Amino acid sequence: MLGNFIAQFNNPEANRNALHGLSRNTLLPFCTVPVYHNIKFTNNSDTTESEIVDVIHAQPEQKDLHGQIIPSWFDTALVQNRGMFGPYRFLDITNWHLGCWVVQVCMVFQIPEQYFKEVFPSTNATSLTHLAYVEWFTPLLAVPEPKHLMYKVSRMMSQGKRCADIIPVDSILRSVHLIPKFGPVTPQEWNTFTVLNQCHTFYVNPFTDVRSYLTFV
């Protein structure tokens, strides 16, 4: 059953060979899923029309009508860890900031509704309407860096690969801006579209707007 495979996948103690065996015998009842390229946050005001206050993009590389390449765009976001997911989901970490994590959102998708019960047999499917495939950064420590009061994060790696997960979209709180940790010389290959992949360590910027400032200060 797919549910058994998901349970094993979420257990860090699971045997790698056992997981491979389960995956070989797990058949998904569908070949495609609906994919979305934006997560939009609104102010949900009762007195005025809802206003978009934040957007997270998850857009792969594509070409415009003239054949010009539009680079991929995968934003970073702040996630509220509810103890149900994350690389350290089974560990008791006390020296972190608000139980929040930074992730890079790589894909937003939806399990076809007619397959909810088959994919998630023991889960309330209504809470898993939209899902996101994300790559994790290290936890936010309880105390920021003393010189500039920004929190340092790095790509979380395991056996040379980035740690990733599939999480509910409603656990994503907002977008978050990361500033690369520059050394004495900035690599020439770094630019707006490549720096998230080529730089390993960043600082969380709390000064982008009021909401971000109140979150981290």
**Which domain, by its residues, includes 1?**
1-29
Overall number of domains in the chain: 2
Confidence of residue 21 (pLDDT cuts 50, 70, 90): confident
Same domain, yes or no, for 154 and 212?
Answer: yes
Q: Which two tokens stand for residue 151?
A: 């929190």
Same domain, yes or no, for 79 and 168?
Answer: yes
Per-residue pLDDT tens over the stretch 138-149? 988 878 888 888
Q: What is the pLDDT, as a whole number, of residue 80?
A: 82
Q: What is the pLDDT, as a whole number, of residue 25?
A: 72
Per-residue pLDDT tens over the stretch 56-108? 999 999 888 888 898 899 999 999 865 555 555 434 444 455 568 899 999 99
Beta-carbon count within 10 A of 35 CB: 11
What is the share, in percent, of the chain residues with pLDDT greater than 90? Answer: 32
Residue 142, phi then psi, degrees to nearest 5: -65, -25
Q: Is residue 24 within a helix (H) or strand (E), and if so which, with residue range?
A: helix 16-24
Same domain, yes or no, for 16 and 99?
Answer: no
Same domain, yes or no, for 134 and 191?
Answer: yes
Alpha helices in 2-45 (DSSP H): 2-9, 16-24
Task: Look at strands 161-162 and 201-205 and give their pairing.
Answer: unpaired
Same domain, yes or no, for 11 and 77?
Answer: no
Give the global pTM. 0.79
Same domain, yes or no, for 25 and 127?
Answer: no
Same domain, yes or no, for 10 and 103?
Answer: no
Same domain, yes or no, for 23 and 46?
Answer: no
Per-residue pLDDT tens over the stretch 150-195? 999 999 988 888 999 888 998 999 999 999 999 888 888 998 888 9
Pair 195, 182: CB distance under 8 Å: no
Pair 59, 106: CB distance under 8 Å: no
Average confidence (pLDDT) over 117-124? 69
What is the distance between the alpha carbons of residues 51 and 45, in angstroms, rounded to a whole number? 8
Q: What is the pLDDT, as a whole number, of residue 127?
A: 58
